[in-house]
Amino acid sequence: MDKIINKLISNGFVKGEQKIIDIKDLEELTKIILLLRSQQIEKGEKSPFLKLVGSSDRLDILLEKIISNKYVKENLKQILGERYLLMSPSARFSDEGDSGLEIHQDAVGETGLLFLLTDQKEGQTVMVKASHRFPGRISNILSWGSKKLINIISSLYFSITGNAGDHYYWFHKTWHGRKPNTINGESSITLFFPFFPFAANRFDIAEKNQSSILKTRNQYLKNIMSQKIPYNDKVLEIPICLKIEKFDIKALLNINFIIFLLKISILEVLFSPVRILRLLRKIKF
Ligand SMILES: [Fe+2]
């Protein structure tokens, strides 16, 4: 197995090693997305997200170039299996005053391609190394998972940094969040391409993609956002992104996972007063 896939399995995320679009395409992509953003703001829309597919033919071609890049396709195939579904991709803007996002985990099988559209020296998206190896989904009950605490305990997190055009692969099961953007924080734009293996049978996602599918004339995007055939486990092998759902006892021999367990145990003790305060607030006297 490739070094990059091994690193993803070990850490829960990995930075891609090659450039996946050339500088001219990157500049054009940035220009189009900034124009769409200014139109969004003019309309008074305050969402930090922007759906990308179907806004312009040229943008769709550039999105296709990213996800159909030979290197990306090879990696996605190894992680998600032969057949996979793209959930409608979006741009995430982080500007001054952005309140961030608490530590959380997403759906079973969900695997992302994260693309930095701007240089991100500090990094806004944060991930907890090896956390995907912990069984189930417990990040929502952590005493220290609040977005207010992300900047205070930044040493626990890995910040997703890099230059415009860099990309990462990551399991959405990995505990992740977003730092609040303080007054001196950098503005950033990140593109999110979430994928599901056909094996997850997420027909509901394919259904939600319909509005984007109808908006675009790009056949590649239409196809990759659709799933009509149910997954047949006699034909297709269980992909890596689903295998990680099952706890592997060998994880206890993995140094990153041991460090992760130590860190979260210490934090749970340190932040136990926060947990007690939350409990007290729930109790009606
Ligand atoms: Fe998420």
| CA–CA distance, 109 with 243 (Å, rounded to integer) | 9
| Cα 285 to averaged position of ligand 1 atoms, centre (Å) | 36
Residue 147 contacts residue 95 (beta carbons within 8 Å): no
Percent with pLDDT over 90 in the chain: 72
Work out the angle at residue 205's Cα, subtended by the Cα atoms of residues 199 and 209, and round it to the nearest 5 degrees.
130
| Cα 74 to averaged position of ligand 1 atoms, centre (Å) | 24
pLDDT in tens, 214-234: 999 999 999 999 987 776 666
| Cα 252 to averaged position of ligand 1 atoms, centre (Å) | 26
Look at residue 241 and give its three-state secondary structure.
helix
| Cα 128 to averaged position of ligand 1 atoms, centre (Å) | 13
How many domains does the chain contain in total?
Answer: 1
| Cα 246 to averaged position of ligand 1 atoms, centre (Å) | 20
Burial of residue 223, with CB atoms counted within 10 A of its CB: 0-12 exposed, 13-18 middle, 19 or more buried = exposed
Q: Which residue has the higher pLDDT, 157 or 127?
A: 127
| Cα 104 to averaged position of ligand 1 atoms, centre (Å) | 6
| Cα 241 to averaged position of ligand 1 atoms, centre (Å) | 15
| Cα 230 to averaged position of ligand 1 atoms, centre (Å) | 25
What's 80's domain CATH number? 2.60.120.620
| Cα 105 to averaged position of ligand 1 atoms, centre (Å) | 6
Residue 126 has pLDDT above 90, yes or no: yes
Record the pTM: 0.93
| Cα 235 to averaged position of ligand 1 atoms, centre (Å) | 30
| CA–CA distance, 53 with 46 (Å, rounded to integer) | 19
| Cα 172 to averaged position of ligand 1 atoms, centre (Å) | 6
Structure-block tokens of residue 27: 């500049």
Give, as residue ranges, everything with CB less than 5 Å from ion ligand 1: 106
- The whole domain housing 250 covers 3-282
- The stretch 204-221 carries a mean pLDDT of 97
List of E strands, 48-166:
49-51, 84-86, 90-94, 101-104, 111-116, 125-127, 158-159
Residue 285 has pLDDT above 70, yes or no: no
> What stretches of the chain show up as alpha helix (H) in DSSP?
3-11, 23-42, 57-67, 70-80, 147-150, 203-208, 210-215, 219-224, 240-243, 255-270, 272-282
- The stretch 186-209 carries a mean pLDDT of 94
| Cα 102 to averaged position of ligand 1 atoms, centre (Å) | 9
